[in-house]
Amino acid sequence: MKKVILVVDDDRLNLMVAQKLLSEDYRVAAVNSGELALHYLERNDPNLVLLDIQMPKMDGLEVMRRLQVHSKWRRIPVIFLTADRTEKTEETCFKMGAVDYIGKPFVPAIMMQRIHRTLELEDYRRNLELMVEQQLQRITQLQQDIIFSMANLIESRDGTTGEHVKRTSAYVNLLVRKMQEKGLYQEELTSEYVDYLKKASPLHDIGKIAVSDAILQKPGALTKAEYQLIQLHAEEGGRLIRENMSRIAEQEFVEIACDMASCHHEKWAGGGYPKGLKGEKIPLAARILAIADVFDALVSKRQYKDGMPLEKAFSILKKERGKSFQPELLDAFLDAEEELREMMREFDI
């Protein structure tokens, strides 16, 4: 399919010349004003714009300014058409964002060469962007696979399966969606923050790697000394993430993952560990994860207990409203009862 070139020039003779020169190799759209050019671009996506500078009402420089502030239009390469070949005009063209300029009257061979070169470079740029995006997606998927593998390995040490991290991540996603529906923390819950939250949640118990198997796999109640040792996993998790992921992941992701790992056992009213934080001093990511993590612990079967029905789990969570959990976040989670029932059926718990 032929590439499309939009030619914008108030001189009809110039438009006719351009169409004659270009029509054999390209599809040509021709308009004689800046206003008509913008109108055309609202409905079409040309591969290149040839833009006359000197036009009445809206000149080429004003058209270019409007192209540059439009998220879609600013990606279209623009070649200015001008009879003014001074150094100042050439400098202005490139400062405005043009990829080239063609002097008038047109010299056919030069005009065709510059257009062909521009379109060739644009194809190369787009192909390169696509390759980079594909590679980034592969790297991102590899990172996520590694995260899940690490989380599954750690979870298996205390008798749980890799399904715990999948379920907890799913509950986090559900709670975040409910928070957004209720308009909670709109400024904080940006698309990037939510994406990092979902990807980081499987790492919340990574600190258990520092806890002995004897404690993790103990079927009975822990002694006070053993409980103190297992509490170390929160702070240790934050340290491990910060020291080992800072060089391979975005800083915001690292901060969110650290918050979730180190603070998901803090309590809204205080009295949690490791720092005894309370209220909004507990990072938002940890407050969200805490609800999802405890819910899964209640409804899931472990080596030392059976899972409990949804109603009983909700009853326990409600007793911790304003104590362990932030009321607004817990209310949002409890409002998702039907979704949670469906998810539990899907998870076969």
Angle at 88 between CA 79 and CA 15, to 5 degrees: 35
Q: Give the number of C-alpha atoms closer than 13 A to the C-alpha of residue 74, restricted to the C-beta side.
A: 8
Q: CA 6, CA 50: separation in Å to the nearest integer?
A: 6
Q: Contact, 7 vs 41, CB < 8 A?
A: no
Look at residues 56, 58, 64 and name the one whose alpha carbon lies nearest to residue 80: 64
Q: How far is CA 2 from CA 14, 17, 128, 129, 322, in A?
A: 22, 19, 21, 22, 65
Q: Are the beta carbons of 171 and 334 closer than 8 angstroms? A: no
- In order of their start, the domains of the chain are 4-129 (3.40.50.2300), 157-347 (1.10.3210.10)
Strand order across the 48-52 sheet: 27-31, 4-8, 48-52, 78-82, 100-103
Per-residue confidence (pLDDT) for residue 139, from 0 to 100: 62
pLDDT of residue 125: 87
On the question of a cis peptide bond just before residue 56, with omega within 30 degrees of 0, the verdict is no
The residue assigned the tokens 């612990």 is: 297
DSSP 152: H
Per-residue tokens: 2? 């032929």
* Helix, strand, coil percentages for the chain (3-state, nearest 5): 60, 10, 30
- The pLDDT score that the predictor gives to residue 225 is 87
**Phi and psi at residue 37, to the nearest 5°:** -65, -45
Could you tell me the two tokens for 164?
């715990």
How far apart are alpha carbons 47 and 18 in whole angstroms? 16
**The two three-digit tokens of residue 83, written as one number:** 């009879």
Q: What is the pLDDT along the chain (349 residues), one digit of tens a residue?
A: 889 999 999 998 989 999 999 999 999 999 999 999 999 999 999 999 999 998 988 999 999 999 998 988 989 999 999 888 778 888 888 888 889 988 888 888 888 999 999 999 989 888 888 887 777 677 667 666 667 666 666 665 555 555 778 899 899 999 999 999 999 999 999 999 999 998 889 889 888 887 877 777 777 778 888 888 888 999 999 998 988 887 767 889 999 999 999 999 999 999 999 999 999 999 999 999 999 999 999 998 876 678 899 999 999 999 999 999 999 999 999 999 999 999 999 988 7
Query: What Å distances lie between residue 229 and 75, 106, 218, 235, CA to CA?
Result: 57, 81, 13, 11
Nearest C-alpha neighbor of 95 from the set 87, 107, 84, 103: 87
Question: Token digits for 242?
Answer: 């910060």
Q: How much is the pLDDT for 3? A: 94
How do 100-103 and 78-82 pair as beta strands?
Answer: parallel
Going by the DSSP 8-state scheme, the letter that residue 222 receives in this structure is P
- Tell me if residue 205 falls in helix, strand or coil: coil
At 316 the pLDDT is: 97
Query: Which amino acid, 271?
Result: G
